[in-house]
Amino acid sequence: MKILMFGRGVISTLYGWALEKAGNEVDFYVRPGRAADFGSSVDVDIRDGRASSKGKPVQENWPITLREDLEPDHDYDLIIVSVNHDQLDSAVDFLQPRVGGATILIFNNVWADPAAAISRLPREQVTWGFPGGGGGFDVSTLHGGIVRSIFLGDIDGSSRTDRHRVVRELFTDAEFSISDIADFRSWLWFHFILDAGIMVGWLRMGSFDALVRSRPALKEVVRLIREMIPVLTAKGGTSRFGAAAARFIPASVIGFAMQKLLTGDNLFTFIMTQAQNTGHNNYKAQADYPRDVLADARRLGVAVPRLEANEPAFR
Ligand SMILES: NC(=O)C1=CN([C@@H]2O[C@H](COP(=O)(O)OP(=O)(O)OC[C@H]3O[C@@H](n4cnc5c(N)ncnc54)[C@H](OP(=O)(O)O)[C@@H]3O)[C@@H](O)[C@H]2O)C=CC1
Ligand SMILES: CC(C)(CO)C(=O)C(=O)O
Protein backbone atom coordinates (compact mmCIF):
# COMPACT_ATOMS: atom_id res chain seq x y z
CA MET A 1 0.00 0.00 0.00
CA LYS A 2 1.17 3.54 -0.69
CA ILE A 3 0.92 5.54 2.53
CA LEU A 4 1.42 9.21 3.35
CA MET A 5 2.11 10.04 6.97
CA PHE A 6 0.88 13.57 7.70
CA GLY A 7 3.71 15.40 9.52
CA ARG A 8 6.95 13.86 10.75
CA GLY A 9 5.94 13.68 14.39
CA VAL A 10 6.53 10.96 16.96
CA ILE A 11 3.52 8.79 16.17
CA SER A 12 3.73 9.22 12.41
CA THR A 13 7.41 8.20 12.48
CA LEU A 14 6.90 5.20 14.78
CA TYR A 15 4.02 3.77 12.77
CA GLY A 16 5.48 4.87 9.42
CA TRP A 17 8.56 2.86 10.33
CA ALA A 18 6.54 -0.23 11.27
CA LEU A 19 4.34 -0.03 8.18
CA GLU A 20 7.28 0.43 5.82
CA LYS A 21 9.10 -2.54 7.38
CA ALA A 22 5.92 -4.55 6.74
CA GLY A 23 6.31 -3.94 3.01
CA ASN A 24 4.40 -0.73 2.40
CA GLU A 25 5.63 2.38 0.64
CA VAL A 26 5.72 5.25 3.15
CA ASP A 27 6.30 8.98 2.59
CA PHE A 28 5.90 11.93 4.95
CA TYR A 29 4.17 15.22 4.23
CA VAL A 30 5.88 18.09 6.08
CA ARG A 31 5.23 21.81 6.09
CA PRO A 32 6.92 23.76 3.27
CA GLY A 33 10.51 24.54 4.29
CA ARG A 34 10.74 21.78 6.93
CA ALA A 35 12.23 18.95 4.82
CA ALA A 36 15.74 20.39 5.01
CA ASP A 37 15.48 20.71 8.85
CA PHE A 38 14.34 17.11 9.23
CA GLY A 39 16.87 15.62 6.81
CA SER A 40 16.61 12.45 4.82
CA SER A 41 16.80 9.91 7.64
CA VAL A 42 15.73 9.35 11.24
CA ASP A 43 17.77 7.71 13.97
CA VAL A 44 15.39 5.20 15.46
CA ASP A 45 16.11 4.03 19.02
CA ILE A 46 12.94 2.26 20.10
CA ARG A 47 11.45 -0.90 21.53
CA ASP A 48 9.19 -2.90 19.27
CA GLY A 49 6.50 -4.54 21.39
CA ARG A 50 4.91 -6.57 18.62
CA ALA A 51 7.18 -9.54 19.14
CA SER A 52 7.56 -9.47 22.93
CA SER A 53 5.73 -7.60 25.65
CA LYS A 54 8.90 -5.87 26.94
CA GLY A 55 9.78 -4.84 23.40
CA LYS A 56 12.65 -5.79 21.15
CA PRO A 57 15.30 -3.03 21.05
CA VAL A 58 15.72 -1.47 17.60
CA GLN A 59 18.49 0.96 16.71
CA GLU A 60 18.94 2.03 13.15
CA ASN A 61 19.28 4.94 10.80
CA TRP A 62 16.10 4.85 8.76
CA PRO A 63 16.11 6.65 5.37
CA ILE A 64 12.82 8.48 4.81
CA THR A 65 11.14 10.36 1.97
CA LEU A 66 9.75 13.76 2.83
CA ARG A 67 7.56 15.87 0.60
CA GLU A 68 6.43 19.44 1.08
CA ASP A 69 3.46 19.37 -1.26
CA LEU A 70 0.54 17.14 -2.12
CA GLU A 71 -1.16 17.44 -5.50
CA PRO A 72 -4.93 16.71 -5.56
CA ASP A 73 -4.46 13.83 -8.02
CA HIS A 74 -1.86 11.99 -5.92
CA ASP A 75 -1.96 8.19 -5.80
CA TYR A 76 -1.70 7.53 -2.06
CA ASP A 77 -4.04 4.78 -0.88
CA LEU A 78 -3.96 5.93 2.71
CA ILE A 79 -3.13 9.16 4.56
CA ILE A 80 -2.47 8.72 8.28
CA VAL A 81 -3.07 11.86 10.30
CA SER A 82 -1.56 11.93 13.77
CA VAL A 83 -1.29 15.49 14.96
CA ASN A 84 -1.89 17.22 18.27
CA HIS A 85 -5.59 17.73 18.90
CA ASP A 86 -5.32 21.50 18.43
CA GLN A 87 -3.70 20.93 15.00
CA LEU A 88 -6.45 18.72 13.59
CA ASP A 89 -8.43 21.63 12.12
CA SER A 90 -5.48 22.91 10.13
CA ALA A 91 -4.65 19.37 8.94
CA VAL A 92 -8.23 18.95 7.72
CA ASP A 93 -8.06 22.37 5.99
CA PHE A 94 -4.95 21.28 4.16
CA LEU A 95 -6.32 17.88 3.19
CA GLN A 96 -9.82 18.95 2.19
CA PRO A 97 -8.93 19.79 -1.45
CA ARG A 98 -6.28 17.04 -1.63
CA VAL A 99 -7.93 13.84 -0.37
CA GLY A 100 -8.19 12.33 -3.85
CA GLY A 101 -9.09 8.65 -3.63
CA ALA A 102 -7.18 8.06 -0.38
CA THR A 103 -8.58 6.67 2.82
CA ILE A 104 -7.84 8.96 5.76
CA LEU A 105 -7.02 7.43 9.13
CA ILE A 106 -7.35 9.92 11.99
CA PHE A 107 -4.95 8.51 14.57
CA ASN A 108 -4.76 11.06 17.39
CA ASN A 109 -6.44 12.61 20.40
CA VAL A 110 -9.70 14.37 19.63
CA TRP A 111 -11.65 16.52 22.09
CA ALA A 112 -13.90 18.20 19.54
CA ASP A 113 -16.89 16.30 18.22
CA PRO A 114 -15.11 13.86 15.85
CA ALA A 115 -17.77 13.98 13.12
CA ALA A 116 -17.73 17.79 13.16
CA ALA A 117 -13.93 17.87 13.18
CA ILE A 118 -13.75 16.05 9.85
CA SER A 119 -16.96 17.41 8.32
CA ARG A 120 -15.00 19.07 5.50
CA LEU A 121 -13.61 15.68 4.40
CA PRO A 122 -15.64 13.05 2.52
CA ARG A 123 -17.06 11.14 5.49
CA GLU A 124 -17.06 7.75 3.74
CA GLN A 125 -13.27 8.01 3.26
CA VAL A 126 -12.46 8.60 6.93
CA THR A 127 -11.52 5.88 9.41
CA TRP A 128 -10.62 6.27 13.09
CA GLY A 129 -7.96 4.89 15.37
CA PHE A 130 -5.48 5.59 18.13
CA PRO A 131 -1.87 4.46 18.65
CA GLY A 132 -0.75 2.22 21.48
CA GLY A 133 2.86 3.41 21.27
CA GLY A 134 4.57 6.71 21.88
CA GLY A 135 7.72 8.51 22.92
CA GLY A 136 9.57 11.61 21.81
CA PHE A 137 12.36 13.04 19.65
CA ASP A 138 15.69 13.98 21.13
CA VAL A 139 16.90 16.29 18.34
CA SER A 140 16.71 13.84 15.41
CA THR A 141 16.63 10.57 17.36
CA LEU A 142 13.29 8.94 17.98
CA HIS A 143 13.03 7.36 21.44
CA GLY A 144 10.00 5.37 22.49
CA GLY A 145 8.19 2.27 21.49
CA ILE A 146 5.27 0.57 19.87
CA VAL A 147 3.08 -1.93 21.66
CA ARG A 148 1.31 -4.77 19.92
CA SER A 149 -2.11 -3.27 20.21
CA ILE A 150 -3.62 -0.34 18.35
CA PHE A 151 -7.19 0.90 18.64
CA LEU A 152 -9.61 1.17 15.75
CA GLY A 153 -12.98 2.68 16.40
CA ASP A 154 -16.37 3.39 14.99
CA ILE A 155 -17.79 6.86 14.51
CA ASP A 156 -21.23 6.93 12.88
CA GLY A 157 -20.80 3.60 11.10
CA SER A 158 -17.22 4.23 9.92
CA SER A 159 -16.13 0.73 10.94
CA ARG A 160 -18.59 -0.92 8.55
CA THR A 161 -16.83 0.26 5.40
CA ASP A 162 -14.39 -1.56 3.12
CA ARG A 163 -11.90 1.19 3.82
CA HIS A 164 -11.98 0.34 7.54
CA ARG A 165 -11.42 -3.32 6.71
CA VAL A 166 -8.42 -2.43 4.54
CA VAL A 167 -6.89 -0.35 7.35
CA ARG A 168 -7.52 -3.20 9.78
CA GLU A 169 -5.77 -5.62 7.45
CA LEU A 170 -2.86 -3.24 6.94
CA PHE A 171 -2.15 -3.23 10.68
CA THR A 172 -2.77 -6.94 11.24
CA ASP A 173 -0.45 -7.74 8.31
CA ALA A 174 2.14 -5.61 10.10
CA GLU A 175 1.74 -7.86 13.20
CA PHE A 176 -0.36 -5.45 15.25
CA SER A 177 -3.40 -6.63 17.13
CA ILE A 178 -6.54 -4.52 17.00
CA SER A 179 -8.70 -3.39 19.90
CA ASP A 180 -12.05 -2.59 18.35
CA ILE A 181 -13.99 0.21 20.01
CA ALA A 182 -17.69 0.54 19.26
CA ASP A 183 -18.37 4.02 20.66
CA PHE A 184 -15.12 5.65 19.68
CA ARG A 185 -16.29 9.19 20.32
CA SER A 186 -16.82 8.41 24.03
CA TRP A 187 -13.55 6.46 24.09
CA LEU A 188 -11.63 9.42 22.65
CA TRP A 189 -13.20 11.79 25.11
CA PHE A 190 -12.52 9.49 28.06
CA HIS A 191 -8.94 9.07 26.91
CA PHE A 192 -8.62 12.86 26.72
CA ILE A 193 -9.91 13.19 30.27
CA LEU A 194 -7.38 10.58 31.41
CA ASP A 195 -4.62 12.59 29.76
CA ALA A 196 -5.96 15.81 31.33
CA GLY A 197 -5.88 14.25 34.81
CA ILE A 198 -2.38 12.87 34.29
CA MET A 199 -1.11 16.18 32.93
CA VAL A 200 -2.43 18.11 35.95
CA GLY A 201 -0.63 15.64 38.22
CA TRP A 202 2.53 15.81 36.11
CA LEU A 203 2.54 19.63 36.11
CA ARG A 204 1.88 19.81 39.86
CA MET A 205 4.57 17.29 40.73
CA GLY A 206 7.10 18.69 38.23
CA SER A 207 7.73 15.41 36.37
CA PHE A 208 6.07 12.20 35.35
CA ASP A 209 8.53 10.24 37.54
CA ALA A 210 7.59 12.30 40.60
CA LEU A 211 3.89 11.84 39.86
CA VAL A 212 4.04 8.07 39.60
CA ARG A 213 6.13 7.78 42.79
CA SER A 214 3.49 9.61 44.81
CA ARG A 215 0.38 7.63 45.79
CA PRO A 216 -1.46 10.79 47.05
CA ALA A 217 -0.74 12.59 43.75
CA LEU A 218 -2.09 9.61 41.77
CA LYS A 219 -5.16 9.52 43.99
CA GLU A 220 -5.75 13.16 43.19
CA VAL A 221 -5.43 12.33 39.45
CA VAL A 222 -8.16 9.70 39.85
CA ARG A 223 -10.40 12.20 41.68
CA LEU A 224 -9.85 14.72 38.89
CA ILE A 225 -10.72 12.14 36.23
CA ARG A 226 -13.85 11.21 38.17
CA GLU A 227 -14.88 14.84 38.38
CA MET A 228 -14.40 15.35 34.63
CA ILE A 229 -16.63 12.44 33.57
CA PRO A 230 -19.82 14.57 33.71
CA VAL A 231 -18.18 16.90 31.17
CA LEU A 232 -17.91 13.93 28.81
CA THR A 233 -21.57 13.04 29.32
CA ALA A 234 -22.66 16.68 28.98
CA LYS A 235 -20.92 16.69 25.58
CA GLY A 236 -23.12 13.75 24.57
CA GLY A 237 -20.73 10.88 25.34
CA THR A 238 -21.57 7.80 27.32
CA SER A 239 -19.84 6.60 30.43
CA ARG A 240 -17.95 3.56 29.24
CA PHE A 241 -16.43 0.76 31.31
CA GLY A 242 -13.26 2.74 32.10
CA ALA A 243 -15.26 5.79 33.07
CA ALA A 244 -17.62 3.71 35.18
CA ALA A 245 -14.64 2.10 36.92
CA ALA A 246 -13.07 5.50 37.59
CA ARG A 247 -16.36 6.59 39.08
CA PHE A 248 -17.13 3.70 41.40
CA ILE A 249 -13.82 2.08 42.40
CA PRO A 250 -12.15 3.91 45.31
CA ALA A 251 -9.50 6.44 44.18
CA SER A 252 -6.93 4.78 46.46
CA VAL A 253 -7.42 1.42 44.71
CA ILE A 254 -7.12 2.91 41.23
CA GLY A 255 -4.17 5.05 42.38
CA PHE A 256 -2.44 1.89 43.59
CA ALA A 257 -3.12 0.06 40.30
CA MET A 258 -1.88 3.07 38.31
CA GLN A 259 1.29 3.17 40.37
CA LYS A 260 1.90 -0.52 39.73
CA LEU A 261 1.39 -0.03 35.98
CA LEU A 262 3.32 3.22 35.65
CA THR A 263 6.35 2.24 37.71
CA GLY A 264 6.58 -1.37 36.54
CA ASP A 265 9.17 -2.88 34.26
CA ASN A 266 6.90 -2.70 31.23
CA LEU A 267 6.82 -1.09 27.82
CA PHE A 268 4.17 1.44 28.80
CA THR A 269 6.36 2.85 31.60
CA PHE A 270 9.32 2.86 29.20
CA ILE A 271 7.34 4.84 26.61
CA MET A 272 6.10 7.43 29.10
CA THR A 273 9.63 7.82 30.48
CA GLN A 274 10.99 8.38 26.97
CA ALA A 275 8.27 10.98 26.32
CA GLN A 276 9.29 12.71 29.57
CA ASN A 277 13.06 12.48 29.08
CA THR A 278 12.97 13.85 25.53
CA GLY A 279 10.89 16.81 26.72
CA HIS A 280 8.18 15.77 24.26
CA ASN A 281 5.43 16.97 26.56
CA ASN A 282 6.33 20.61 26.98
CA TYR A 283 4.24 22.96 29.11
CA LYS A 284 1.86 23.88 26.30
CA ALA A 285 1.31 20.26 25.28
CA GLN A 286 0.54 19.33 28.89
CA ALA A 287 -1.59 22.35 29.79
CA ASP A 288 -3.76 22.11 26.67
CA TYR A 289 -5.56 18.97 27.94
CA PRO A 290 -6.95 20.27 31.28
CA ARG A 291 -7.43 23.76 29.82
CA ASP A 292 -9.65 22.41 27.04
CA VAL A 293 -11.68 20.25 29.43
CA LEU A 294 -12.16 23.21 31.77
CA ALA A 295 -13.28 25.43 28.88
CA ASP A 296 -15.97 22.89 27.93
CA ALA A 297 -17.00 22.40 31.57
CA ARG A 298 -17.59 26.15 31.84
CA ARG A 299 -19.39 26.30 28.49
CA LEU A 300 -21.68 23.42 29.47
CA GLY A 301 -22.19 24.55 33.07
CA VAL A 302 -20.61 21.43 34.62
CA ALA A 303 -19.13 22.01 38.09
CA VAL A 304 -15.45 20.98 38.27
CA PRO A 305 -14.19 22.60 41.51
CA ARG A 306 -11.17 20.31 41.81
CA LEU A 307 -10.01 21.08 38.26
CA GLU A 308 -10.63 24.78 38.86
CA ALA A 309 -8.58 24.67 42.04
CA ASN A 310 -5.71 23.25 39.98
CA GLU A 311 -6.02 25.90 37.26
CA PRO A 312 -2.89 27.83 38.34
CA ALA A 313 -0.88 24.75 37.26
CA PHE A 314 -2.14 24.91 33.66
CA ARG A 315 -3.45 28.42 33.03
N1 LIG B 1 3.96 10.96 21.62
C2 LIG B 1 3.29 10.10 22.36
O3 LIG B 1 3.84 9.47 23.27
C4 LIG B 1 1.84 9.84 22.10
C5 LIG B 1 1.07 10.69 21.34
N6 LIG B 1 -0.26 10.42 21.17
C7 LIG B 1 -1.13 11.33 20.45
O8 LIG B 1 -0.87 11.23 19.04
C9 LIG B 1 -1.03 12.51 18.40
C10 LIG B 1 0.27 12.89 17.72
O11 LIG B 1 1.26 13.01 18.73
P12 LIG B 1 2.79 13.16 18.40
O13 LIG B 1 3.17 12.38 17.22
O14 LIG B 1 3.46 12.89 19.69
O15 LIG B 1 2.88 14.72 18.09
P16 LIG B 1 4.05 15.48 17.36
O17 LIG B 1 3.97 16.92 17.77
O18 LIG B 1 5.33 14.78 17.55
O19 LIG B 1 3.65 15.34 15.83
C20 LIG B 1 2.68 16.07 15.16
C21 LIG B 1 3.28 16.40 13.81
O22 LIG B 1 2.27 16.87 12.93
C23 LIG B 1 2.78 17.99 12.24
N24 LIG B 1 1.69 18.86 11.79
C25 LIG B 1 0.64 19.30 12.50
N26 LIG B 1 -0.16 20.07 11.75
C27 LIG B 1 0.43 20.11 10.52
C28 LIG B 1 0.10 20.75 9.30
N29 LIG B 1 -1.00 21.51 9.18
N30 LIG B 1 0.92 20.59 8.25
C31 LIG B 1 2.03 19.82 8.36
N32 LIG B 1 2.40 19.18 9.49
C33 LIG B 1 1.60 19.34 10.55
C34 LIG B 1 3.64 18.69 13.26
O35 LIG B 1 4.50 19.59 12.65
P36 LIG B 1 5.02 20.89 13.45
O37 LIG B 1 5.98 20.36 14.48
O38 LIG B 1 5.65 21.68 12.38
O39 LIG B 1 3.80 21.52 14.07
C40 LIG B 1 4.33 17.50 13.91
O41 LIG B 1 5.46 17.10 13.20
C42 LIG B 1 -1.45 13.46 19.53
O43 LIG B 1 -2.85 13.52 19.60
C44 LIG B 1 -0.91 12.79 20.79
O45 LIG B 1 -1.61 13.15 21.94
C46 LIG B 1 -0.83 9.28 21.65
C47 LIG B 1 -0.11 8.39 22.38
C48 LIG B 1 1.27 8.64 22.70
C1 LIG C 1 1.28 9.68 26.20
C2 LIG C 1 0.70 11.07 26.08
C3 LIG C 1 0.02 11.48 27.35
C4 LIG C 1 1.82 12.07 25.88
O5 LIG C 1 2.87 11.72 25.16
C6 LIG C 1 -0.24 11.15 24.95
O7 LIG C 1 -0.08 11.93 24.06
C8 LIG C 1 -1.45 10.32 24.92
O9 LIG C 1 -1.51 9.22 25.49
O10 LIG C 1 -2.39 10.76 24.33
- Report ipTM (2 d.p.): 0.97
Closest-lying ligand 1 atom to the alpha carbon of residue 132: 47
200 & 158 share domain: no
> Which residue has the least CA distance to atom 27 on ligand 1?
91
Whole-angstrom Cα distance, residue 169 to residue 173? 6
Q: Compute, in angstroms, the gap from residue 159 CA to the centroid of ligand 2.
A: 24
**How many CA atoms, within 13 angstroms, populate the side-chain half-sphere of residue 180?**
12
Which residues sit opposite 152 in a β-bridge? 129, 180
pLDDT tens for 202-251 read 999 999 999 999 999 999 999 999 999 999 999 999 977 677 777 778 88
Q: Is it the case that residue 36 has pLDDT exceeding 70?
A: yes
Ligand 2 near 109 CB (within 6 A): yes
- CATH code at position 78: 3.40.50.720
pLDDT band at 61 (very low <50, low <70, confident <90, very high): very high
Q: Compute, in angstroms, the gap from residue 143 CA to the centroid of ligand 1.
A: 15
Ligand 2 near 281 CB (within 6 A): yes
Residue pair 215/302 in contact by the 8 Å Cβ criterion: no
272 & 237 share domain: yes
pLDDT at 253: 85
Please state the rounded mean pLDDT for residues 269-274: 94
Ligand 1 near 281 CB (within 6 A): no
171 & 201 share domain: no
pLDDT band at 264 (very low <50, low <70, confident <90, very high): confident
41 & 149 share domain: yes
Residue pair 127/3 in contact by the 8 Å Cβ criterion: no
Q: Picking from 147-156, 248-257, 269-278, which range would have the lowest pLDDT averaged per residue? A: 248-257
Q: Which of 166, 182, 198 is the last residue of a domain?
A: 182
